[in-house]
Amino acid sequence: MSDFNKANQAVHPVETQWHYKMLTDAGFVPETKEGIGFVRSYTYHHSDGRTITTTTGSSCDYWSSNFGEGGRGGPRHYLESL
């Protein structure tokens, strides 16, 4: 297996991701415990029914939600508006 393919099999625990502290501080709980590879997605839920999915890796960070918000980069702006 090439070094590239080996790297694309790397496991990334949710706690090591840039969005983890931001979203857990806002009351979201991670459903996805780990992602594998260069590009990976993590889903979080809130007790009020909102969900946020972040996709990260290889310069493609973006997020989406079940409440009509989303975009490139992180959800910091949205979270600060709560």
The token pair that represents 41 in the structure block: 């997605």
Position 5 scores a pLDDT of 92
Position 82 scores a pLDDT of 73
Q: How many residues does the chain have?
A: 82
Q: Is 36 helix (H, G, I), strand (E, B) or coil?
A: strand
pLDDT means per 10 residues in the chain (82 residues)? 90 93 95 94 96 83 81 76 74
Give buried/exposed letters for 39-63 (b at 16+ CB in 10 A, else e).
ebebbbbbeeeeebbbbbbeeebeb
* Interacting residues of 76 by C-beta distance below 8 A, sequence separation 6+: 22
Position 57 scores a pLDDT of 80
The token pair that represents 12 in the structure block: 């990334």
